[in-house]
């Protein structure tokens, strides 16, 4: 059977259309996958920025609170402002894990918290919290005091008793740091099930000048 030139051209056109459709069918899933990766990367970047900004805000507030009894409450409240009482910024966002308010110093090159603080509070060094504390965060929780040898300090039952804010003036050459961990659950699951985020910030402790006594008597 002899095919005319017109028949050959029609078959060629049909073959080209079929190849184009096949290439399109292959390209579409790849294109959609790239879009999802870009979408996830954008949300992950936003979660990372939130984590970094929240750590800086909390550390700044804690450092400026100096020796105020509720210094840790104020730092934690700054985190709650960023993440909410549940410790989660919102759906498809980072969820807080560990929160550490710790003492640092100029010789610490990267401002990292002491290794022991990652597991629990360490006396005169750090207060370690679980993000669940944001659910019941109240000033009264951080108001308890007790007398030790005539010196007022934090009540031993208080969550910030290990590194009591009332004792921090003795550390006026030191720095206060806030370290937080969080987990970002990816939306698409293409890259990974979740990303572990860590952020910290350190600021110099600030204390209001002590009042200068005025000598009695005189002319």
Note the residue count of the chain: 219
Low-confidence ranges of the chain (pLDDT < 50): 3, 7-8, 91-92, 218-219
**What is the Cα–Cα distance from 167 to 151, expressed in whole angstroms?**
10
**What is the Cα–Cα distance from 144 to 141, expressed in whole angstroms?**
7
CB 110 within 8 A of CB 198: no
Taking residue 188's Cβ as centre, other Cβ atoms within 10 Å add up to 14
pLDDT for the residue numbered 141: 94
pLDDT for the residue numbered 210: 72
Dig out the tokens for 100 from the structure: 């550490």
pLDDT for the residue numbered 219: 43
Prediction pTM value:
0.79
> For the sheet containing 194-204, what is the strand order?
126-130, 94-104, 175-185, 194-204
Task: Name the one residue in this structure whose structure tokens are 């899933």.
Answer: 29
CB 165 within 8 A of CB 70: yes
């Amino acid at each position: 059977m002899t095919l005319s030139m017109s028949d050959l051209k029609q078959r060629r056109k049909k073959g080209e259309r079929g190849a184009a459709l096949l290439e399109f069918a292959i390209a579409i899933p790849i294109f959609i996958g790239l879009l999802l990766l870009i979408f996830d990367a954008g949300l992950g970047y936003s979660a990372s920025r939130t984590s970094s900004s929240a750590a800086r805000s909390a550390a700044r507030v804690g450092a400026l609170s100096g020796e105020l009894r509720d210094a840790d409450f104020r730092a934690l409240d700054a985190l709650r402002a960023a993440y909410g009482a549940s410790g989660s910024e919102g759906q498809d966002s980072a969820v807080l894990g560990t929160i550490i308010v710790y003492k640092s110093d100029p010789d610490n090159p990267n401002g990292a918290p002491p290794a022991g603080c990652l597991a629990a509070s360490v006396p005169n060094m750090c207060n370690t919290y679980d993000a669940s504390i944001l659910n019941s965060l109240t000033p009264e929780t951080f108001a308890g005091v007790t007398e030790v040898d005539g010196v007022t300090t934090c009540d031993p039952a208080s969550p910030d008793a290990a590194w009591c804010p009332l004792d921090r003036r003795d550390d006026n050459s030191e720095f206060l740091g806030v370290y937080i961990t969080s987990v970002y659950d990816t939306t698409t699951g293409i890259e990974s099930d979740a990303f572990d985020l860590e952020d910290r910030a350190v600021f110099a402790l600030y204390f209001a000048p002590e009042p200068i006594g005025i000598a009695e008597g005189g002319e």
